[in-house]
Every structure is written in structure tokens, then in C-alpha cells.
């Protein structure tokens, strides 16, 4: 049974959405009309107000009659995690989308600019979540009730998480806190210089997480409410990417917070890798899940989150509902698939097939000993154009609306998944620590952490590696094998210097069939053009 203590306290609204983009005029609603100060006069509403902040990351709206928080022709397109997934996956080797909607081709080919609607949507969505958190923090600051102190810390965590994505994707967003009242003013960046502002924002987010750590619940309390384990994971991920954000590596600090998670005793790897992406992946059933956005087929309906990932990757011929994911209503969107270059990351085809072409009889790569491979060969591994039919490329069916054993979820709905969207899970603590140890010249211990993950993947020690086999490329590839389609790939490629001008190209990168290097300014997305035009305090990122 899922823990709906927060989300369901505010989700009494109808959440039935359409799935086709009709209007690119993306405008946020006035947040002051959604949260008002007198809400906090009644303690019974306090948990619901906190739930609103959580829900703002995964559903499209909580306004009157289920209205979108951002006005557009199709709000589902522009929810936080759907837009973030697109920005983290489509410009990489892991995903390329066949749809012709505005902005998608630009992401497929790394030719995006300030007017891309997905950039605008995510930028505004994160700003709304930060505004909601600021309001909650302002009204609960200084309270002495232990529950309210904890709720205040959770709101500060959610704000820190939103700012961490802002920092990673946009580099230099406008900055507000609970000290800034909602009203008619132009928010400012921390500095006009991208590098300076990014470092200041990094320091702010890290200090926030340090200051709230003791006020959060013990690690392992819940995967859908932020606890100490979630804060440690966010700190570890920030330190993992510190050199990108600040120019100074923080590998020791990354290791410290991975140690805290691993040594807490609150988590363990799921026996079956697939459970992390099934309907029973919540912390009551899955000891690996540290923090996730809650989804429920009955109470949080919408073509968002894991429902979007499942449906956008399915099609009637190659990845059918009845065979794999279990959703049977409004299914088979036939959009997202992976490139053949990523297939080579997932599977050592030279070893597995002796250098010969992959046999058509093994379309599911059943002979692969790595059981993380939930892929399927489609009509052809080559994708003829950046927007060609979803029948081409490599099908991905990692996420499912079924339980791990193939049964239906207790809250099953034929259109909407009950599979929570994973943000932090224990496997990432092991692989972040392995990377930190490798950078600290401790390959021996790094290999131990990697082999823990690979032994779960292979079911035995046959996939173990030695210190002599370990290098930076292997670590990047192993992260791809473990975390594909979880919205991490762009960040990882940037950290390893392979997203734009490195020595790794894939189909349609830069608009070329076999891929080509792109300019390094694309490592940070632009600030949306509408924001730059409207706000005199905003400086556009270099190169745009």
C-alpha cells in the first residue's frame, strides 16, 4: 500500500488530461492566488499545503477544478518531471523522439535556443515550486511544534532540489527565498556572470541542506517524503558535479555523503533490478528507493511522470501493452527510443555476438547476461532522420505499470501507472562513491562498489571487473547501464566532457546522421527568451 499521507491530502481535484500539444503559449498562473497566508491559520491544512509543493513536481495542476498551474494547450506536456526528462534524455544517446511537436526536434539534435517551449516550461515550473516552498517556509519559520519543524525542513529540501536542477540545467536562474514577498517585482540573478552565480547558488543549496539535515526524519522513513537519506543523496550528487558547477572538485565530500547513505542500514538493493521501475517500487516493498515522486493510477491521473515514459516508448508492433507494461487505454504513442550507439553501451555486441550482426531472432537481447537490458530491436537500428517513425532504433521498456511479478497494482488503472518516479535510489550511492573513489586514486575500493551493482545485474560474479579494467569511460558506461531513462544522462555526459565537444557522438547529435561535435555553450541551456525580454535583471547565458 502506498503512503499517500501528503499527496492525497490535496489531490481531491480531477486530473484528466489530453495528450496532444495545441498551444505553445506557456504562462504560469499567479501563485498568490493558489497559496494564501490564511491557509496556515488552520493546522489541519498544513500537511495539505506541504503536499502541494511535492505535487507541483509531478502533476500538472492543483487549481480550480484541476486546472493547470501553467496555462497551455496541453499541460501534461509541461509538467516538471516530463519536461526535465525531455531535457535530460532527448539531447543524448539514450533517447530520440519521433514526434513533430515544436521543440522536440531541437532537443533531438542539440540545436535548441531560448524559445524552446520545454525550456520555458521547466524554467517556470521550477520557479513555481520555489515560490510555493518560499510561502510555506515563510509561514512556518520559528514554529516550535516538532511536526511543523520537520515540515519546514521538507519544504526547504524541495526548494533546494528545485534550485539544484535550475543550477544544473540553466546555470543562473533568478533567486528568491522566503524573505521575498510575492508581488510585482523583478527577481534578480545572484550575479550577471554565469560562473560566479552558479558557484554562489551551489554554496547556497549545500548550506541549506546542511542546516536542515537534523530536522528531517531518520533515513528510510518514507520514499515519498524527504528524509535525511534524501538530503544526503542530494548533497552527494551536488558534490559529484561540483567541478562542473564551481570549477573545484569535491570528491571527498561526495564520498562522505554516499558513506552516510550506505552505512545508515536503512536501505538495501532490491533483489530484482526491475522492481525499481514497477508499480510496487515504493519503500514499503522496495528497500532501494530513497526518494521518489508518488504516482497512483486512481488518485494522481495524468500523462506525466512514469505514465509518460511508459506510453511514449510503447508501440503496437514492437513493445505491446499486453506483453510488457500493462497499460491498455490511450497507449502505444510510439515516440521515444534509443540510438544504436547507446545499445553498444548497454551490450558488448563484439563479445556477445562475436562481431557479427545482432541476429533478428534475438530482438529482445535475451542472450545478454546483464539483466538490466530491457530493450528491443525495432525495424532497423539505424534511424533515417531525427524525426523519423518510432519504428526505427532501439525500443526501451524499462518502466512498467505492472508489479514486479507481472500482477496488477492494487490501484491499477488501464491508462495511468502507479509506478513512482525514482529520484534517488541506493544504487546511485554506490556508483557515485565508486566514481569519487576512482577520482581519488582508490580503484580497488571503487571496483568493489561497482561489482556490488553488477552482481545484482548478472545474478552472480560473472560480470565482476578488476581494477585493471576500470577507467573513466567504464564508469560513465556503467552509469548508463544502471540509470538509463531515469533522467540523468545529460548531466553525466556533461561531467565526463562528452555531451557536446567530446570524442563521443551518436545518431543525429548536431543534426548529422552519424553525429558530430557541438559547441560547449550547449552544456548549459539558455534562459528562456521571454524571461530575458520581460525581466531587466536577467542576463542571458553565453552563446545564446
Q: What interhelical angle do 117-140 and 146-169 show, nearest 10?
A: 160
DSSP state letter for 19: -
Per-residue model confidence (pLDDT) at position 367: 84
Contact 302, 385 (CB under 8 A): no
| Cα distances (angstroms) measured from residue 43 to each of 49, 63, 297 | 10, 21, 29
CA distance 35 to 455: 48
Cβ-based neighbours of 445, under 8 Å, separated by 6 or more: 437
For residue 521, the tally of other CB atoms under 10 A from its CB is: 15
Cβ-based neighbours of 52, under 8 Å, separated by 6 or more: 10, 34, 35, 62, 132
Contact 244, 494 (CB under 8 A): yes
- What DSSP string describes 465-533? --GGG--HHHHHHHHHHHHTTSS-HHHHHHHTT-SSSSS---TTGGG-TT-----GGGGSPPPPHHHHH
State the pTM of this model.
Answer: 0.91
Residue 220 CA neighbour count, 13 Å, CB half = 15
Per-residue model confidence (pLDDT) at position 3: 45
**Distance of alpha carbon 353 from the chain centroid:** 33
CA distance 402 to 399: 9
Contact 423, 292 (CB under 8 A): yes
Cβ-based neighbours of 354, under 8 Å, separated by 6 or more: none
For residue 36, the tally of other CB atoms under 10 A from its CB is: 12
Which helix (H) or strand (E) covers residue 289, if one does?
A: strand 289-293
Per-residue model confidence (pLDDT) at position 114: 97
CA distance 524 to 437: 27
DSSP state letter for 392: B
b/e code 245-271 from CB counts within 10 Å (16+ = b): bbeebbbebbbbbbebbbebebbebbe
Coil, strand, or helix at residue 342?
A: helix
CA distance 171 to 168: 6
Provide the residue-wise pLDDT of the chain in tens; the chain has 544 residues: 444 444 433 333 223 222 222 223 334 444 444 444 555 656 667 888 999 999 999 987 665 445 666 665 566 767 999 999 999 999 999 999 999 999 999 999 999 999 999 999 999 999 999 999 999 999 999 998 999 999 999 999 999 999 999 999 999 999 999 999 777 789 999 999 999 999 999 999 999 999 999 999 999 999 999 999 999 999 999 999 999 999 999 999 999 999 999 999 999 999 999 999 999 999 889 999 999 999 999 988 889 999 999 999 998 887 776 678 889 888 889 999 999 999 999 997 666 666 666 677 788 888 889 999 999 999 999 999 998 899 999 999 999 999 999 999 989 999 999 999 999 999 999 999 999 999 999 999 999 999 999 999 999 999 999 999 999 999 999 999 999 999 999 999 999 999 999 899 999 999 999 999 999 999 999 999 999 999 999 999 999 9
Give the bridge partners for 396, in sequence order: 375
Domain ranges of the chain: 1-175+497-544, 299-408
Compute the Cα dihedral for 115, 118, 122, 124 and give only its sign: positive
Cβ-based neighbours of 368, under 8 Å, separated by 6 or more: 346, 347, 352
For residue 214, the tally of other CB atoms under 10 A from its CB is: 10
Q: What is the CATH number of domain 1-175+497-544?
A: 1.25.40.390
Coil, strand, or helix at residue 447?
A: helix
Q: Give me the residue label for grid cell 562513491.
A: 433
Compute the Cα dihedral for 534, 535, 536, 542 and give only its sign: negative
Among residues 343, 475, 488, the alpha carbon closest in space to that of 423 is found at 488
Number of residues assigned to the chain: 544
Cβ-based neighbours of 250, under 8 Å, separated by 6 or more: 239, 242, 243
Per-residue model confidence (pLDDT) at position 22: 26
CA distance 376 to 394: 6
Question: Where in 5-154 does DSSP place strands (E)?
Answer: 27-28, 70-71, 96-97
Per-residue model confidence (pLDDT) at position 109: 98
CA distance 149 to 147: 5
How do 289-293 and 421-425 pair as beta strands?
A: antiparallel
CA distance 358 to 48: 53
Compute the Cα dihedral for 323, 329, 333, 338 and give only its sign: negative
Per-residue model confidence (pLDDT) at position 77: 67
Contact 60, 14 (CB under 8 A): no
Amino acid at each position: 500500500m502506498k503512503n499517500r499521507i501528503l499527496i492525497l491530502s490535496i489531490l481531491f481535484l480531477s486530473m484528466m488530461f489530453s495528450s496532444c500539444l495545441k498551444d505553445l503559449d506557456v504562462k504560469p498562473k499567479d501563485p498568490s492566488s493558489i497559496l494564501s497566508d490564511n491557509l496556515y491559520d488552520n493546522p489541519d491544512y498544513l500537511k495539505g499545503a506541504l503536499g502541494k509543493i511535492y505535487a507541483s513536481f509531478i502533476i500538472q495542476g492543483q487549481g480550480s477544478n484541476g486546472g493547470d498551474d501553467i496555462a497551455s494547450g496541453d499541460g501534461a506536456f509541461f509538467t516538471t518531471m516530463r519536461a526535465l526528462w525531455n531535457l535530460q534524455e532527448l539531447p543524448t544517446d539514450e533517447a530520440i523522439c519521433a514526434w513533430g511537436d515544436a521543440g522536440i526536434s531541437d532537443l533531438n539534435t542539440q540545436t535548441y535556443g531560448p524559445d524552446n517551449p520545454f525550456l520555458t516550461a521547466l524554467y517556470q515550473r521550477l520557479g513555481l515550486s520555489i515560490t510555493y516552498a518560499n510561502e510555506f517556509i515563510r509561514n512556518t519559520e520559528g514554529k516550535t511544534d516538532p511536526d511543523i519543524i520537520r515540515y519546514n525542513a521538507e519544504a526547504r529540501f524541495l526548494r533546494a532540489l528545485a534550485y539544484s536542477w535550475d543550477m544544473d540545467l540553466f546555470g543562473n536562474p533568478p533567486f528568491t527565498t522566503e524573505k521575498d514577498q510575492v508581488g510585482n517585482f523583478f527577481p534578480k540573478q545572484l550575479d550577471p556572470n554565469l560562473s560566479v552565480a552558479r558557484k554562489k547558488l551551489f554554496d547556497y543549496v549545500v548550506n541549506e541542506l546542511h542546516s536542515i539535515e537534523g530536522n528531517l526524519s531518520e533515513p528510510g522513513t518514507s520514499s515519498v517524503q524527504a528524509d535525511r537519506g534524501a538530503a544526503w543523496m542530494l548533497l552527494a550528487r551536488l558534490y559529484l558535479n561540483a567541478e562542473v558547477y564551481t570549477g573545484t572538485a569535491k570528491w571527498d565530500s561526495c564520498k562522505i555523503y554516499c558513506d552516510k547513505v550506505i552505512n545508515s542500514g536503512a536501505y538495501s538493493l532490491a533483489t530484482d533490478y526491475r522492481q525499481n521501475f514497477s508499480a510496487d517500487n515504493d519503500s514499503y516493498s522496495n528497500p532501494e528507493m530513497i526518494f521518489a515522486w508518488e504516482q497512483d493510477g486512481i488518485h494522481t491521473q495524468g500523462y506525466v511522470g512514469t505514465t509518460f515514459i511508459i506510453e511514449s516508448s510503447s508501440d503496437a508492433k514492437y513493445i505491446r501493452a499486453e506483453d510488457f507494461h500493462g497499460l491498455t487505454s490511450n497507449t502505444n504513442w510510439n515516440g521515444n527510443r534509443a540510438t544504436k550507439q547507446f545499445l553498444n553501451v548497454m551490450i558488448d555486441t563484439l563479445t556477445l555476438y562475436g562481431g557479427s550482426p545482432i541476429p533478428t531472432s534475438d530482438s529482445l537481447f535475451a542472450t545478454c547476461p546483464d539483466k538490466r537490458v530491457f530493450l528491443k530491436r525495432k525495424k532497423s537500428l539505424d534511424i533515417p532522420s531525427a524525426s523519423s517513425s518510432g519504428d526505427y532504433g532501439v525500443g526501451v521498456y524499462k518502466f512498467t505499470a505492472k508489479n514486479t511479478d507481472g500482477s496488477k497494482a492494487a490501484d491499477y488503472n488501464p491508462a495511468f501507472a502507479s509506478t513512482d518516479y525514482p529520484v534517488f535510489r541506493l544504487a546511485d550511492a554506490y556508483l557515485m562513491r565508486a566514481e569519487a573513489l576512482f577520482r581519488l586514486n582508490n580503484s580497488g575500493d571503487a571496483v568493489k562498489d561497482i561489482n556490488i551493482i553488477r552482481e545484482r545485474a548478472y545474478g552472480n560474479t560473472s560480470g565482476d571487473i578488476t581494477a585493471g579494467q576500470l577507467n573513466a569511460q567504464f564508469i560513465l558506461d556503467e552509469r548508463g547501464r544502471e540509470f538509463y531513462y531515469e533522467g540523468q544522462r545529460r548531466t553525466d555526459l556533461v561531467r565526463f566532457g562528452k555531451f557536446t565537444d567530446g570524442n563521443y557522438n551518436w545518431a543525429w547529435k548536431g543534426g548529422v546522421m552519424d553525429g558530430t561535435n557541438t559547441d560547449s555553450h550547449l552544456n548549459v541551456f539558455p534562459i528562456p527568451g521571454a524571461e530575458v525580454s520581460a525581466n531587466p535583471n536577467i542576463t542571458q547565458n553565453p552563446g545564446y
